[in-house]
Structure 1
Amino acid sequence: MIVVGIGPGNLRYASLEAVERIKNSNKVVAFKRVAKDLEEICTPIIIKSLDELLNYKDACFVASGDPCLYGVLEYLIKNNIEVEEVVSSISSVQYMFSKIKRSWSNAKIISLHGRDFEDINSGVYAIFTDRINSPSSISKKLFEMGKRGRIFVGYNLSYPDEKIVEGKIGDCFREFSDLSVVICYVD
């Protein structure tokens, strides 16, 4: 299987190599949201769960983000699926830091996709959220832990309905989407 990441979602942020690999593949597989972005360059097979990937071991699987950063690569390795090649584009974390015009050289990256909230100390954090660990719940948990600082929240990054908001740790954030990245500057 070839695994291709197209960046935060919008195909404009995919690397040239990623686009070429997709165009030159006989069989392209993707989730619905990513498949919609691919319509201008191919007609992908839409899957609904990662388990379905087991049926497409000879395909090019296209995912949003960077497959190597809390992405699909972990799942494939865990399920003994041979990965012939990985082609990455920028991650949503890279995209988000560029949008808020901040360096991410010292950032700690955490995924809360189906994971428990970790202890956070002072520093810079990039956090992938999920339905349970929303930006507001992260902000509230940090505040309850006695943490203070700034939070940036990016929703639907790279899409036309993208929203990036800024607040303080402890603030509530309007939930525009389940697709979000939180950047925390913890004092």
Structure 2
Amino acid sequence: MVAGIGPGNPRFLTMEVKDAIENFEKVVAFGRVSNSLGHIRKDFIRIEKIAHIDKLLEEYEDILILASGDPCFYGIVEYLKRENIKIEKILPGLSSFQYMMAKLGITWQGANFLSLHGRKGKLESVKDYKLSIILTDKDNTPSRISKSLYEMGVKGRIYVGFNLSYEDERIIKAEIGKKIDDITPLAVVVIENEMD
């Protein structure tokens, strides 16, 4: 089974996911996820790389795999299906982008979604949408995205959410092209493109 834990803070767990965490015999989690849920249980099987899941599935028959955000939104489900790993059930979680949009008070239907988190995405697609939502990583930082969009001639606002849902959460608003302090490598970037 695969379950999404939401943006990070345990307050955003669904009751169904919390019950699964408490009741499954073997629960697999990445470091950040297991750290934030340590008050629920202490015996997580911690992994650092997604490829380690294959070995665990050979060792254990029935495990719960925890993923940050929602596992179906640029998440672990995509990897498991690509590796032909059977998923018995998926429990959804609140995505970091949903959390961010609620914080901003911006509706997101019709938005362009782009993950640059360990992926090669086409940042140029932002030019074709009034609203784009982008997931970042250590190489594709909010500062780099802001600069690249400015060089492409995109004008408008950029919002960046760092450590969303945690006590040290920061949401920054700037004009596209302005330097942004990259507080953490993982962030949600929202682009409001001033299209003609």
- Distance in 1, matches of 2:5 and 2:121, equals 27
- Distance in 1, matches of 2:93 and 2:119, equals 25
- Distance in 1, matches of 2:115 and 2:129, equals 17
Aligned-pair identity (%): 43
Structure-1 residue corresponding to 2:65: 61
C-alpha contact (below 8 Å) 1:38/1:44 kept by paired residues: no
Displacement of 1:113: 1.6
Q: Which residues of structure 1 form unaligned runs of 5+?
A: none
Query: Helix, strand or coil: the match of 1:103?
Result: coil
C-alpha contact (below 8 Å) 1:154/1:165 kept by paired residues: yes
Letter in 2 for 1:6: I
List aligned pairs for 1:1-187, cutoff 5 A: 2-42=1-41, 43-57=43-57, 58-118=62-122, 119=124, 120=126, 121-187=128-194
Displacement of 1:117: 4.1
Displacement of 1:10: 1.1
Q: What is the root-mean-square deviation in Å for CA atoms of aligned residues?
A: 1.0
Query: Helix, strand or coil: the match of 1:98?
Result: helix
C-alpha contact (below 8 Å) 1:65/1:91 kept by paired residues: yes
- Distance in 1, matches of 2:83 and 2:165, equals 31
- Distance in 2, matches of 1:154 and 1:100, equals 10
Regions of 4+ moved over 3 Å: none
Work out the number of aligned pairs and report it.
186
**TM-score of the aligned structures, taking structure 1 as reference length:** 0.96
- Distance in 2, matches of 1:122 and 1:7, equals 26
Displacement of 1:116: 2.8
- Distance in 2, matches of 1:91 and 1:185, equals 20
**TM-score of the aligned structures, taking structure 2 as reference length:** 0.92
Query: Helix, strand or coil: the match of 1:166?
Result: strand
C-alpha contact (below 8 Å) 1:112/1:130 kept by paired residues: yes
